[in-house]
Structure 1
Amino acid sequence: MVEVLDRKRSATKFRVLVEIADRQPAVNQTEIADAVGVTSQAVSEYIRELVEEGYVDKEARSRYRVTKQGVDWLFQQAADVRRFADHVTEDVLGSMQEDAAIAAAPVAEGEAVSLSVEEGLLHATPGTTGPATGVATTAAEAGDVVGVTGFEGVIEMEAGDVTVFQVPPVRTGVTPASDRLAAAAERAGLVATAGVEAVVVCRESGVDVDVQFAAGAVAADAAGRGVDVVVVTTTDAAGRVTDALRDAGLAYEVDDL
């Protein structure tokens, strides 16, 4: 179970710390009490506990600041809550909703199908031989879209490999074409860039770019669906890319061009 959801007190402490982080350094305990739905006295007790745990520093009367330890704890709890929410929406509720797939062969409405992911897209094949199955809600010819519901089982899928190539910003010089980048892009299913410098080095290296915006989020989504990804990013934007990959629980390699 997620720590902050185990007990009401843990959840309330989490919410109080979020409110402090949002309002720091001038913290009005009455406002926090109204936002969280507890008494001002309870907020005072939570703040005292947070100070004792090292999550909050008291700078002066009614002036508090979240410590690095407190920020790290917030990030960890928020990540756990997000994973739990993803489990609920995708694993629990996912079997109750209708989704779209590509028919691998002609499918009749009401027919049982096996499900798989190919090139990041859900495919449905007539029959129940796969580890994950569903029921077609529409009829479709091979290659057409088909509705699927009644999901059962788990689709066996490994995350794709992600390689992040860093290029320096223009103020430090222009990066020449790279055979190493070209070879990696040739093996990848998707190439994403962050920054004009990254777009240009891809062009000079003969690499076709699939995505030029939100590279980190796109790379995380694609790799999570089993697609191998190359991301070319300036060093200035690299942190945003790797943060998105870490938040998604994905491994990646970083290489400098």
Structure 2
Amino acid sequence: MADPDRDGPPEVLDSKRDATRYQVLVEIAARQPAVSQHEIAEAIGVTSQAVSDYVRDLMEHKYVKKGGRGRYEVTKEGVDWLISRTDNLEAYLDRVNSDVLGSVEVDAAIAIDDIDEGSEVGLVMRNGVLHADPAGGAATAVTVTGAKGGEAVGVADFEGVLDYETGYVTVVPVPAVTDRETLDPRVIDDHLPATGLLAVAGTESYALAARAAVTPDIRFGTVDGVTEAAVRGLDVLLVVGADQLPQHTAKLRDENIPHEVLDAIDL
């Protein structure tokens, strides 16, 4: 079984031979009973002779038994050995993910001004994009790269909470083409946020935007795209076909995004 107190890498990674032995046994288990040593060799990148040597070794340890020409089967002892090594390997990978990779998580931000590597910066959200401010801020990070103003800079070691509000979504339902009803395209100008985005879902919605001579910011993947924009602090006008309205509003409710669905009388 896995040994949680083991500090180093699992036994299967102690040497190339142990790792290859593990791979060969895995391949036999996956292909049994008709096992081609040539195919195993190609799969793990060793010679057929090397596979033959490993198979002989596994048989000597009673991890594999032979049932005839080209026919092999992993024994109960072999399965137990695989499970124990796999448990150790999984525990090791979990530790790498949590203790090692988790501690060096890096995000990208836009440098507001020139920033040197290793500097502490403030983090602010502008136009839905994370920015790094060398003047500091309530939320901070440390740069892992340098950058000129306007360039992307790598940041890590985050502390504090970003100070910004979730965006607001205004939803304009558009009648289906079969309803033989149309909206005045001025509805878009009337409700489009001054510094926000326009999202259109459905052909009828796109046609309405075209009649208003407005280019949509989001045309595809609007269920997730509108929510993501609002989470990043952007106000959004969502013009959506009546048939797609329920899935959009359900997502907004699930993500607790403040929104309003305009009634026909308001349009």
TM-score calculated relative to the size of structure 2? 0.58
1:186 Cα offset (Å) = 5.1
- 2:119 maps to a residue whose letter is E
- 1:182 maps to a residue whose letter is D
- The answer as to 2:157 corresponding to 1:150 is yes
- The answer as to 2:205 corresponding to 1:206 is no
Cα contact 2:193–2:236 (8 A) shared by 1: no
Task: State which drifts further: 215-224 or 139-148.
Answer: 215-224
Give the counterpart of 2:174 among 167, 170, 190: 167
Give the counterpart of 1:181 among 181, 188, 193: 188
**Deviations, residues 154-188 of structure 1 (Å, cap 9, x unaligned):** 00110111100001100001414332321322525
Give the counterpart of 1:102 among 97, 106, 110: 110
- 1:205 maps to a residue whose letter is A
3-state secondary structure, aligned to 2:243: coil
- Percent identity between matched residues is 39
Instruction: Note the 1:111-130 alignment, pairs <5 A.
Output: 111-128=119-136, 130=137
**Deviations, residues 85-107 of structure 1 (Å, cap 9, x unaligned):** xxxxxxxx987511000000000
Which residue pairs with 1:191 in the alignment? 198
Give the counterpart of 2:229 among 222, 231, 235: 222
Alpha-carbon separation, structure 2, partners of 1:213 and 1:190: 13
Cα contact 2:199–2:237 (8 A) shared by 1: yes
Cα contact 2:173–2:261 (8 A) shared by 1: yes
Question: Residues 178 and 157 (structure 1 numbering): CA distance in 2 closer, same or farther, change over 3 Å?
Answer: same
Alpha-carbon separation, structure 1, partners of 2:105 and 2:127: 23
**Deviations, residues 16-36 of structure 1 (Å, cap 9, x unaligned):** xxxxxxxxxxxxxxxxxxxxx
**Deviations, residues 68-118 of structure 1 (Å, cap 9, x unaligned):** xxxxxxxxxxxxxxxxxxxxxxxxx98751100000000000011000000
Which residue pairs with 1:50 in the alignment? none
Alpha-carbon separation, structure 1, partners of 2:108 and 2:245: 34
3-state secondary structure, aligned to 1:253: strand
| Runs of at least 5 residues in structure 1 that lack an aligned partner in the other structure | 1-92
3-state secondary structure, aligned to 2:198: strand
Cα contact 2:193–2:237 (8 A) shared by 1: no
Larger radius of gyration: 2
Alignment root-mean-square deviation, CA? 1.7
TM-score calculated relative to the size of structure 1? 0.61
Cα contact 1:101–1:123 (8 A) shared by 2: yes
Alpha-carbon separation, structure 1, partners of 2:103 and 2:259: 30
- 1:183 maps to a residue whose letter is D
Aligned residue-pair number = 164
Cα contact 1:188–1:229 (8 A) shared by 2: no
3-state secondary structure, aligned to 1:187: coil
4+ residue segments displaced more than 4 Å: 93-96
Which residue pairs with 2:92 in the alignment? none
